[in-house]
Amino acid sequence: MASLREDDDMNTRKLFLLLALLLLSGGASLAGETRYEMRVDGLVCPYCAYGVEKKLMALQGVMEIDVDLHNGLVVVVTADTVRFTDMQLTKLFNDAGFTFRSFRQIVPNADTGS
Amino acid sequence: MLDVKSTVRSVASALVVVLFVATAAMAHDPVFGPGPHTLFKNGFELAFNIHSVEAGASSENEFAAELAYGLTGDWTAGIEIPYLSVDQESAGNSGLGDIVLFSKYRFWRRDDFGSQTSAAVIAKVLTESGEDEGSPGLGTGTTDAIIGLTYGYEGRKWYRWSSVRYRVNGKTANGLRHGDKWMLDIAGGWRPTLHGYREPDTVWLLEINGEMVGRSELNGLELVNSGGTQWFVSPGIFWTLRNFAVKAGIQIPIYNDLNGDQSKTDFRAKLTFEWHL
């Protein structure tokens, strides 16, 4: 009788441990980030590029941005739920005073492994 | 009866004001001449400008607050509110100067990897808000306008700008009309060290500024001691850190051909603190 109870306790602990692991892995995927690299022409001076930072950081899900003036790139880190389109980025960068050329995702999504 | 002497004095004192046209601070543009750069859409530019002019026995210090707004990525409009302190021989006066409304529309822009080339039209209205009860006066006493065209090339290492502007002046109630003015500017800039986005950045500037002023008129009669041509060489610096900029420069006269008996400009200086918000 006592050993059956001990077995039940062990199984219960294992079940809780399994549930905790599942929750943690689900939380990690919710906190996943995506990194985009955008090619933008006209990026010349740091002061002028501030408008790019303002426009991008105003978008929901955008977590951080950096401007690589030497290579004409804007690197954007977003939540996994963010999706960009060419039309959206063309307008955004035009409003900032520059010309958008292309973008690509440069860090695999943690969930899909793509 | 028209007081000719006081009218002529007002012309002389106004020359210190009229001959020095405050150029609205605008992002990465030269210190004294304009450039084609505009503010990003829905952005604000807040600037505080300090201008000083010395011309013989006359001097003027101007402290101006400026606010500009990006209507679109290629169109900016704003207002500049100046506070003047003017000294002319033994007389002095201080107070509100002529409020300036300005707008710039960049009608052409070509973006390439590592460079931007653009051109813009400029329009300004200089109101007659300057207090004119004291002597010397703090404004021109008229509503004046400036229109212009500016071109600029910006690269990672080198800059170049050119512009042409024309100022047309109104007429006071006493029948005084300051001469209209052509302004020509060319400028070059050099960034000695390439920095990243969040690092301090320095550009050295050198401008050539020319001003050609027509004779003033009093009830249709030209005033002898008015108008003329001046050219300046103007070294300057543009220092920035992310969204904050400091611009400074000095205009040194290199050629004067002023009509009649007038005080030549000794120098002009400008200091600007600017934020993009």
Cα distance between residue B244 and residue B274, in whole Å: 6
Across B125-147, b (16+ Cβ under 10 Å) vs e yields ebbebbebeeebbbbbbbebebe
Average pLDDT, chain B: 91
CA B252 from centroid of its chain's CA atoms: 15
Cα distance between residue B75 and residue B38, in whole Å: 6
- Residue A50: the pLDDT is 95
- Residue B277: the pLDDT is 96
Amino acid at A61: G
* Residue stretches of chain A with pLDDT short of 70: 1-3, 16, 18-31, 107-114
Contacts of B195 in chain A (CB under 8 A): 46
Read off the pLDDT of residues B55-81 as tens digits, 9 standing for 90 and up: 998 999 999 999 999 999 999 999 999
Cα distance between residue B243 and residue B277, in whole Å: 7
Cα distance between residue B155 and residue B43, in whole Å: 23
A43 to chain B nearest CA, in Å?
6
B58 to chain A nearest CA, in Å?
37
- Residue A11: the pLDDT is 78
Nearest CA to B137 among B182, B176, B80, B102?
B176
Instruction: Kindly report the pTM of this predicted structure.
Output: 0.85
End-to-end Cα spacing for chain B: 53
B240 touches chain A (CB under 8 A): yes
Which range is least confidently modeled, B83-92, B163-172, B200-209?
B83-92
A108 touches chain B (CB under 8 A): no
Read off the pLDDT of residues B27-62 as tens digits, 9 standing for 90 and up: 579 999 999 999 999 999 999 999 999 999 899 999
- Residue A114: the pLDDT is 38
Counted across chains A and B, CB pairs separated by less than 8 A come out at: 95
Nearest CB partner across the interface for A55, out of B28, B40, B74:
B40
Beta sheet of B176-177, edge-to-edge order: B176-177, B217-218, B221-222
Helix (H) or strand (E) holding A12: helix A2-30
Q: Is the pLDDT of residue B26 over 70?
A: no
Contacts of A44 in chain B (CB under 8 A): 114-116, 154-156
Q: Is the pLDDT of residue B219 over 90?
A: yes
If you search the block for the tokens 């065209």, which residue do you land on? Answer: B149
Measured CA to CA in angstroms, residue B221 lies from A56, B226, B239 at distances of 59, 12, 47
Beta sheet of A62-68, edge-to-edge order: A62-68, A73-79, A33-41, A99-105
Read off the pLDDT of residues B142-191 as tens digits, 9 standing for 90 and up: 999 999 999 999 999 999 999 999 999 999 988 999 999 999 999 999 99
- Residue A1: the pLDDT is 56
Q: Count of residues for chain A?
A: 114
Confirm if B28 and A45 have CB atoms less than 8 A apart.
yes
